Structure 1
Amino acid sequence: MAVINVSPADGKVIAEGPVGCLVDVCCDDFRHLDIGLPPEILRLKDAGYLSQAIEACDRLLAQDLDSSLAACVRAERYRMIETPLHFSVSRDRAIEMIREEWPEFTDEQFDDLIERKRIDWRFIDGELFVLDNFLDSLRVYPKEVPGLRPDSADGIALRNQMLEEMESQGGLSRTITLKASVSVPGALEGEAVRAWLPVAATCRQQSHIEVLDMTSEGTVASEDASARTASWTSSTKHSFSVTYRYQIDAAYRDIYGGALPAHPCMDAPLPEDTSEDRPHIAFTPYLRQLTERVIDGLEDPLDCARAIYDYLTQHIDYRYQPPYLLLGSIADDCAHSLRGDCGVMALTFITMCRIAGVPARWQSGLYVAPDSVGPHDWAEFYTPQTGWLNADVSFGSSARRMGEEWRRRHYFGNLDPWRMVANCRFQAGFEPVFNGMREDPYDNQMGEASVDGRGCRQREMLRTVELIEMLEVPFSD
């Protein structure tokens, strides 16, 4: 099969050679990242000598290793192979790209943005390379880069109107119909293509789920699967789609406004909701110290969760991230760097809540606005007096950035009806099991595919999700 690269400029599909992950690595290997590389390999990796570090990994893997160390080395080796694909813009090219919009931009201004952690970068073979979508991160804070075109403000007024209605009415409900699709245009005749597309799962706020249409010979995982998908295996088809409808109910509670009514909970926390899930939900020394400081003097679980949310939304800046498989200990790194995206912030909130003894868990899927649909992650937390509630830290951080304190407060305890929940656990496996290495070993929002057991990379798949219909329906808590 041929590698498929889709040019964002013209949509052309270009063949580039063998497809899929040809490295002997699997998703479970990424559970062992905290084992750590041997120091001599780690020094090469940290210095950016990735080719030498990969060769050192190969020599080590040829030996009889402990299974956990071997898994870590395989995962780290794969991360080093992937790094240059995403940190691909040289310093000179990055400055040139900024000057295409802002001619007066100087080298010194670029160095200042690097120093202030506004641009994510890596050293590769002695040269600084920045993340390929660094311009998107810069546009989030237009005052810092006044010469760049700012992010579009389309949809903000409509969103705020929806949130105001939700707060005034005590909640909103929507019935939403989505169509998701994935294709592997480079698959050759006779090759076995497997595909998985996320679909709505039964959860606290989501119900009345119907699969309306899907490519033939597919199966749908159970409604309560940790990562619910529709899936197919075929030697003749290369494109797959599923259309589904669901109801989303978004109750509103003023968590900052005083006493809350008791809320019965039919879904009690599990032991895993208060435990580590390494390597990314890890109770590191710094996170323990930070959490202790943030909740100092507080005993009520709701007060603790609110203090953690307040700290994160007021201190963490939104920045686009590389693929999560390139990140280290996600929550601990976020606490140190004070930057992240929706999933990074959600994991940090979950980790700190669990350290504080407040049950917390992952939710992810899609943010479904009337004018756009895209991947999104957030969190749930539990207190005895409220049951499970939601927290969307990245939306709260965004509200703080825009000076909308009311909206920042809204997203502690509440979401909105513009959601699709497909996943309730970070790094959940698929039903049926994925063979090979997933594009994203941690989450599933746009779909995955493999060819003859080799997991497809993002550039080898065409993936879309389309809003077919959104209907307002009466809300009942």
Structure 2
Amino acid sequence: MTIKTTSPSAGSLRTEGPVGSPDEVENDDYRYLDIGLPQEIERLKQTGRIAAAREACLKLLEEVAEPQLRACLRAESHRMGRTARQFCVTRDRALELIRAEWPEFSSRQLDDLIERKRIDYRLVEGEVRFLDNFLDSLRVYPAEVPGLLPDSPSDTAARDSMLKRMRDAGGASRIITVKAKISVPGKRVGETVRAWLPIPARAPQQSQIEILSMTEGGVVAREDAPARTVFWESTEIDTFEVAYRYRIDAPYVDATAPAPSSHVVDAPSPCGADLAEIRPHALFTPYLKALTDSLVHRIERPFDRARVIYDYLTGHVDYRYQPDYAQLDAIADNCAKSLRGDCGVMALTFVTMCRIAGVPARWQSGLYVSSDYIGPHDWAMFYTEEYGWLWADVSFGSSSRRSGDEARRLHHFGNLDPWRMVSNSEFQAEFEPPSDGVRWDPFDNQMGEATVDGRGCDEVEMLREVELIEMIEA
């Protein structure tokens, strides 16, 4: 069995770092995006005058001393420097790409898809630009774009059979072997490449972790690292690989039945951090507090509070591909308002609303590893006294609602499946050792990151692959 996923924009193109003192920006600066830009700079940004907005950020940095505003300005300038490279498809090019598959597609139909929030866009120097993978977002809704080629079908029969067996047997387990790779093809002679590839971490559902092989010189982080990786540093090579094996257990809980007599999994009890805000994306904003209160204000049992939050999100939020999370603002609040998001956006919104409701909740992310697909995925955990720690996969619940599969939607409140790899247990966790450049995604890590001479690599500068070697029932 060999199933492989390659990062979508990978290649040997070398880009210059964002203009304007790129060495001064740090990953931690992204924690202060909630400070917000001054109105005059925000207006420049929102109207697509990116170069002018970045110049204004750099000018203001010469005038202000307050450290949090300075951090926000540095992060904003840095991420605006990446905007044009991510939102690179013009309107004319978008129509050309769609019409290559659907010749009758009209300009008005494109406007309609934008109005219905099926396509994300930004204004770049006054011009509407779409993400380079905007077609993938459209294929999620085949009934609305019947002229496009359908998305690659997944093996739903195998998935449904596995979930049924899991429910009948009270759970399921797998032993999974995976190979991951990262390279920086544009590395120049003498430059120092540092690379971090995610590997399995100790988690309530994950154990028996083995590193089977890796490129010489790799340094493996501790098993309970919140963003576990294997790390390399080299001036000689630009490609790094690791192969690992682990056991994943997926216990099953019938969320409609009485609570079990003992906790489902043996995991550390919740702590204060499991009820706290996370700057800048999991803040208890006035809107999120009002929305959460409207859902749970008459519900006493924490388990039922988590359930009504899950029901609301899976019933109202639709899937849409996102740019890298560094380009997003106030993730949980915006998801609740726009009712759009990907797996991580939905998971973080669930975590935030649970915490507002007094239900401890945590983030998990890594890979979804099925018989016909392997790739990045995010989900959540929540805690109640009766059950202990359970799981919620909001994006899978949302897709189940769209396809009319209520049994699968119900399954993913309380349960996952044995097709997972957990590498991250905290949102925005730092690497061990820390990255010496600004990461492509400072908030999550599923496919790996690299720096060259202290400059963080953009996605197009990294070739990243993950491959399923073997999966057997345990």
State TM-score, norm by structure 1: 0.95
- Identify the residue that residue 430 of structure 1 maps to in structure 2: 431
What is the correspondence of 1:39-438 to structure 2 with a 5 Å cutoff? 39-263=39-263, 265-438=266-439
Question: Counterparts of 2:394 and 2:16 in 1: how far apart (Å)?
Answer: 40
Letter in structure 2 aligned against 1:345: M
Write out per-residue CA displacement over residues 178-225 of structure 1, whole angstroms, 9 at most, x where no aligned residue. Answer: 111111121122211111111100110000111111111111010000
The CA deviation at 1:65 is: 2.2
Q: Answer whether contact 1:20 1:455 (CA < 8 A) is retained.
A: no
In 2 relative to 1, CA 465–17 (structure 1 residues): closer, same or farther, beyond 3 Å? Answer: closer
Q: Answer whether contact 1:318 1:339 (CA < 8 A) is retained.
A: yes
In 2 relative to 1, CA 319–87 (structure 1 residues): closer, same or farther, beyond 3 Å? Answer: same
Q: Answer whether contact 2:18 2:78 (CA < 8 A) is retained.
A: no
- Identify the residue that residue 3 of structure 2 maps to in structure 1: none
Letter in structure 1 aligned against 2:297: D
Greater RCO between the two (CA within 8 Å, min separation 6)?
A: 2
Question: Counterparts of 1:263 and 1:304 in 2: how far apart (Å)?
Answer: 18
Q: Answer whether contact 1:367 1:419 (CA < 8 A) is retained.
A: yes
Question: Counterparts of 2:108 and 2:72 in 1: how far apart (Å)?
Answer: 39
Question: Counterparts of 1:14 and 1:184 in 2: how far apart (Å)?
Answer: 7
Of 317-326 and 184-193, the range deviating more from structure 2:
184-193
In 2 relative to 1, CA 115–31 (structure 1 residues): closer, same or farther, beyond 3 Å? Answer: same
Q: Answer whether contact 1:20 1:454 (CA < 8 A) is retained.
A: no
Write out per-residue CA displacement over residues 395-443 of structure 1, whole angstroms, 9 at most, x where no aligned residue. Answer: 0001111100000000000000000000000000011111011111001
In 2 relative to 1, CA 199–210 (structure 1 residues): closer, same or farther, beyond 3 Å? Answer: same
Cα RMSD of the aligned pairs, angstroms, is 1.7
Percent identity at matched positions? 60
In 2 relative to 1, CA 53–266 (structure 1 residues): closer, same or farther, beyond 3 Å? Answer: closer
The CA deviation at 1:151 is: 1.3
Question: Counterparts of 2:258 and 2:267 in 1: how far apart (Å)?
Answer: 24
The CA deviation at 1:17 is: 5.7
Q: Answer whether contact 1:20 1:457 (CA < 8 A) is retained.
A: no
Q: For structure 2, which runs of at least 5 residues remain unmatched after alignment?
A: 1-5
Residue aligned with 1:185, SS: coil
In 2 relative to 1, CA 95–64 (structure 1 residues): closer, same or farther, beyond 3 Å? Answer: same
Q: Answer whether contact 1:218 1:231 (CA < 8 A) is retained.
A: yes
Q: Answer whether contact 2:15 2:461 (CA < 8 A) is retained.
A: no
In 2 relative to 1, CA 39–112 (structure 1 residues): closer, same or farther, beyond 3 Å? Answer: same
Of 141-150 and 26-35, the range deviating more from structure 2:
141-150
In 2 relative to 1, CA 8–248 (structure 1 residues): closer, same or farther, beyond 3 Å? Answer: closer
The CA deviation at 1:119 is: 1.1
- Identify the residue that residue 464 of structure 1 maps to in structure 2: 465
Aligned residues: 466
The CA deviation at 1:260 is: 3.5
Letter in structure 2 aligned against 1:192: T
Of 282-291 and 92-101, the range deviating more from structure 2:
92-101
Task: Point out 4+ residue stretches in structure 1 off by more than 6 angstroms.
Answer: 6-9, 19-22
